[in-house]
C-alpha cells in the first residue's frame, strides 16, 4: 500500500473560476461585476445571476418552472 490517495480528493471538486462564468446575468442580462461573480462562486450557485436577481430568485427553486417572459 502506498500513500498519495489524499491528493486525489482535491481533483474531484475542481472549483470554477471567475473566467468560466458568463459575462452577463442569466436572468436579466446585466453585466456581472467581479464582486458578483465571486459571490456566485462562493455560493456555488448553478446559475450566474446578478445581485438583484439572486435576491429575487430563490436558490432552492432550481429550474422547475420556466421564467415567464414579461415583454
54 binds Zn ion (CB under 5 A): no
- Work out which of 27, 45, 47, 57 binds Zn ion, going by CB under 5 A: 27
Burial class (CB in 10 A: 0-12, 13-18, 19+), 40: buried
40 binds Zn ion (CB under 5 A): no
Binding part of the chain for Zn ion, among 9-17, 18-26, 35-43, 61-69 by CB under 5 A, reads 18-26
CB of 36 to Zn ion, least distance (A): 9
- C-alpha cell at position 2: 502506498
Largest CA distance in the chain: 63
Amino acid at each position: 500500500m502506498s500513500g498519495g490517495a489524499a491528493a486525489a480528493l482535491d481533483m474531484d471538486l475542481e472549483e470554477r473560476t471567475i473566467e468560466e462564468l458568463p459575462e452577463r446575468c442569466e436572468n436579466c442580462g446585466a453585466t456581472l461585476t467581479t464582486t458578483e461573480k465571486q459571490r456566485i462562486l462562493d455560493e456555488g450557485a448553478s446559475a450566474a445571476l446578478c445581485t438583484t436577481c439572486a435576491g429575487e430568485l430563490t436558490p432552492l427553486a432550481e429550474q422547475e418552472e420556466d421564467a415567464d417572459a414579461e415583454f
